[in-house]
Amino acid sequence: MRFPAIASLLAALTCWPPALSAQGGWLLIQRSPLAGSQYYALGEHWAQLRVGDRLTLTREPDNRHDPLAVRVSWQGHPLGYLPRAENAAVARALDRGLRLVGRIARLTPHPDPWQRVVVEVHAGL
């Protein structure tokens, strides 16, 4: 249900005039659990991660598992991905050149990898 609203908002943001972008600031687009972290460097860097840390969002259009894949990295270390069910609007916005960043919204030591990290996606204004 929220995908059309997010997609519309992201499409509108890509059309904003440069004067609005120059003002600075960030707009929260979505909150998602980090997917696939059990296969990446999350455990290696867990003790160093902090709520609020900036995350890099990188499109992987050639990803063999998901053509809309958006990798989430911390200080150059891949931690996982935005979930496939929640990545389409973000992937398309990144493809259009919209400036998006991630932030760690929540860290929870939990045996279920889907419960460990919540990522926020923000659009630059």
CATH of the domain at 68: 3.30.70.2330
pTM as predicted: 0.81
pLDDT tens digits for range 32-77? 999 999 999 888 999 999 999 999 999 999 999 999 999 999 999 9
* pLDDT score of 25: 81
* pLDDT score of 19: 36
Average pLDDT over residues 78-96: 97
Host domain of residue 81: 2-124
**SS3 annotation, the chain:** CHHHHHHHHHHHHHCCCHHHHCCCCEEEEEEEECECHHHCCHHHHHHHCCCCCEEEEEEECCCCCCCCEEEEEECCEEEEECCHHHCHHHHHHHHCCCCEEEEEEEECCCCCHHHCEEEEEEEEC
Average pLDDT over residues 81-102: 96
| Adjacent-strand bridge partners of 108 | none
Average pLDDT over residues 2-11: 55
Number of domains in the chain: 1
Residue 104 has pLDDT above 70, yes or no: yes
Place of tokens 């998602």: 32
* pLDDT score of 16: 43
